[in-house]
Amino acid sequence: MKYDVVIIGGGINGCSLAYQLSKRGLKAALFERDYICSGATGRCGAGIRQQWSTEENIILARESVKIFKNLSKELGEDIGFRQGGYLIAVHDKKELKDAEERVALQKSLGVDVRIIDKDEIRSIAPILDPDGMRAIAATFCPTDGHADPFKTTFAYVKSARKHGTDIFTHSEVKKIVKERSRVKGVIVNDKNIKADYVINAAGAWSKKVAKLAGIEIPNTPLRKEAIVTERLKRIFDCMVISFKDGIYFSQQNEGQILGGIPGPDERTGYFFQPTFSFLQHMARTLTRYAPVLKHIKILRHWTGFYDVSPDARPIIGEDPNVKGFIHCHGFSGHGFMLSPMVTKILSEYIADGKDSEYLHSLSIERFKGKKIKKEISVVG
Ligand SMILES: Cc1cc2nc3c(=O)[nH]c(=O)nc-3n(C[C@H](O)[C@H](O)[C@H](O)COP(=O)(O)OP(=O)(O)OC[C@H]3O[C@@H](n4cnc5c(N)ncnc54)[C@H](O)[C@@H]3O)c2cc1C
């Protein structure tokens, strides 16, 4: 069988690519080693924020929000998108100065964001205790939000199938076939599948997949943990985060509180085992931020992986040495929210040869001895 494009990975990025490419008339096949959403996508907070420190991430997120807003209509399925805002705690004068700089940059790029005081923190999310949070202020962007990661990914799958994409689950790509520095296809389920392009959208396993094509990438898998509580009636709308404490939490559409924090035993590598130390730390910090949650039960606790790049920015675009091999990884904990724009840029490049400044600034080549600009506004 011959395809225009083979996509490796059935998370939000792989499935969005399948939709975007097939919509543009290309014949694509997606191979997922386990099941759709079995990687980070099915384990994530699915928060969508435009409050970043680098111009690039702000613009990619801002444009992604525009796509998310219309996505339920475009795909014909409800993806659970809502804009409850993101409230980012500011803990001291140094953080306030940094926040003022970030807010000025975000505003200059058209993002509706402002600094709020403790009273406004209480009025936006009455469950929060600014003193318990040790916050002197916060930044707030009302157009940030959240979508359901399962509904979004499966809506892409459904639309991609309608447009002719073949989607294979429980199908691990074991080899990437090359001829004279050009990809020719993949070997999966003992079959040789020919393709002009092969996309690495394998999340925290992208380093292993790149190796199949003889490419070294600087990514590291980092184990993260998250919890979800029992359902509550709606008590707040925004995602609450703190760069200093690393915590993030929000109330889901169905009422549960979902959140995470870096655990005391957090480490790099493929460790699936959840830790009790995380659970304790999360419960203590969450109830310091929102004391009313003290009597709420935690229902579930799981692990997932960030695919971390050296500058916490995604790595995208065609490999400079292996033609037809497309990078789409290194999302470092924000790959759900950036997926609409990143996959649009990649699909336009593959289908129409359209260039984008981000294919240069986010290329794998940026790590070659040059000074890199690190994204510092990361949590969890
Ligand atoms: C706890 C947690 C909270 C997060 N919160 C947020 C958030 O609030 N907002 C946000 O934007 N992001 C968040 N993220 C990050 C986000 O989940 C990821 O950046 C995003 O889901 C990455 O999607 P992906 O499609 O690139 O990769 P994944 O969803 O990881 O999918 C990759 C897939 O590739 C498959 N695969 C691997 N190797 C092969 C192979 N050889 N052959 C075939 N298939 C293969 C895997 O099985 C996997 O399903 C969070 C992540 C975690 C872990």
DSSP string, 10-57: -SHHHHHHHHHHHHTT--EEEE-SS-TT-SGGGGS--EE----SSHHH
How far lies 102's CA from each of 62, 109, 274, in Å? 15, 11, 34
Both structure tokens of 332 = 């470092």
How far apart CA 134 and CA 137 sit, in angstroms, is 9
Ligand 1 contact via 146 beta carbon (within 6 Å): no
Local structure of 165: helix, strand or coil: coil
Question: For residue 332, which atom of ligand 1 is closest to its CA?
Answer: 19
What average pLDDT does range 245-269 have in this prediction? Answer: 94
Kindly state whether residues 157 and 299 are assigned to the same domain.
Answer: no
Mean pLDDT of 349-367: 96
Instruction: Say yes or no: 124 and 225 in one domain.
Output: yes
**Which residue CA neighbors atom 14 of ligand 1 most closely?**
333
Q: How many Å apart are CA 91 and CA 95, to the nearest integer?
A: 6
Q: How many domains does the chain have?
A: 2
Ligand 1 center from residue 41 Cα (angstroms)? 4
The pair of structure tokens assigned to 49 is 């924020």
* Rounded distance between C-alpha atoms, residue 329 and residue 322, angstroms: 16
Note the pLDDT of residue 379.
79
pLDDT at 131 over 70: yes
Q: Show the tokens assigned to 129.
A: 């205790």
- 348 in a domain, yes or no? yes
Do 327 and 343 lie in one domain? The reply is yes
Q: pLDDT by residue (tens digit) across 281-302?
A: 999 999 999 999 999 999 999 9
Question: Do 8 and 201 meet the contact criterion of CB atoms below 8 Å apart?
Answer: yes
- C-beta separation of 200 from 210 below 8 A: yes
- Residue nearest ligand 1's atom 20 by CA: 335
User: Are residues 255 and 224 both part of a single domain?
Assistant: yes
Region 126-148 average pLDDT: 98
**177 belongs to a structural domain:** yes
Separation of 219 CA from ligand 1 center, angstroms?
A: 13
Residue 32 backbone dihedrals phi, psi, to 5 degrees: -120, 125
Rounded to an integer, the average pLDDT of 110-125 is 98
Instruction: Identify the pLDDT of residue 23.
Output: 97
Contact 20, 344 (CB under 8 A): yes
Q: Mapping DSSP to helix (H, G, I), strand (E, B) and coil, where does residue 185 land?
A: strand
pLDDT mean over 195-221: 98
Assess contact for 290 and 128: CB atoms under 8 A: yes
Burial (0-12, 13-18, 19+ Cβ within 10 Å), 251: buried
Question: Domain residues for 26?
Answer: 2-45+150-217+311-367
Instruction: Retrieve residue 77's tokens.
Output: 């399925």
Q: Which amino acid is at 42?
A: G
DSSP string computed for 318-339: E-SSSBTEEEEE--TT-HHHHH
In a domain, 107, yes or no: yes
Tokens standing for residue 238: 């925004």
CATH number, domain of 258, equals 3.30.9.10
In a shared domain, residues 205 and 160: yes
Position 51 in a domain: no
d(CA 52, CA 63): 13
Distance 325 CA to ligand 1 centre (A): 19
Structure tokens at 359: 């294919």
CATH code (residue 185):
3.50.50.60
85 lines ligand 1 (CB under 6 A): no
Above 80 in pLDDT, residue 152? yes
Residue 70: inside a domain, yes or no? no
pLDDT of residue 373: 83
Q: Does residue 170 have its Cβ closer than 6 Å to ligand 1?
A: no
Residue 121 lies in a domain: yes
**Pocket of ligand 1, candidates 7, 16, 30, 32: which has the most ligand atoms within 8 Å of its Cβ, to mutate?**
32
Q: What is the 8-class DSSP label of residue 121?
A: H
Judge if the beta carbon of residue 173 lies within 6 A of ligand 1: yes
The residue-averaged pLDDT of 253-265 equals 95
Report the predicted TM-score, pTM, of the whole model to 2 decimal places.
0.97
